[in-house]
Amino acid sequence: MRHEGFTLWFTGLSGAGKSTLSERVHARLRASGAKVELLDGDIVRTHLSKGLGFSKEDRDTNIRRIGFVCELLSRNAVIAIAAAISPYRAAREEVRSCIRNFVEVYVHCPVEVLAERDVKGLYKKALAGEIAQFTGVSDPYEPPLNPEITIDSSRETVEESVEKVWSKLEEMGLIRSDRPAHAYPRV
């Protein structure tokens, strides 16, 4: 696998599939020999952003920290994958402006579908007003205006979505291989 450093930024509501897709893309890139790191929003919050709350300022700080790490990795020829709700467009655009090769992946899924999928019952509680500052219900989520890739996880399979991301990265020239696409390991 030949590649340059870039950042693949998955954004979308809680439960839309960001973590699942980013883990699959990460595994496929790693299996192909790429230098790649994954920064999942939930894990970052427990280590890099411990102590931050869910105010707009704290959420923006969290996104800036993830963006800072992604920029460090990508400028050193590592593929950085971020999977974070990142609800505010301005914070995502700020991160984009600092990273040379930034690829935004909007993982869209209607709230109604997310509420049906939600095994923890968080959407039900948020819709009933029991959870404050719940993104997409009682707190805003600003979808990207021009993402490089849009996934509709309510209509696409995980495999279709991963293939869509992979194809776009090849189309953009960010990943290259002498092997045909069917020769990559499926993970």
Q: Which residues are catalytic?
A: 86
The angle subtended at Cα 71 by Cα 52 and Cα 46, nearest 5°, is: 25
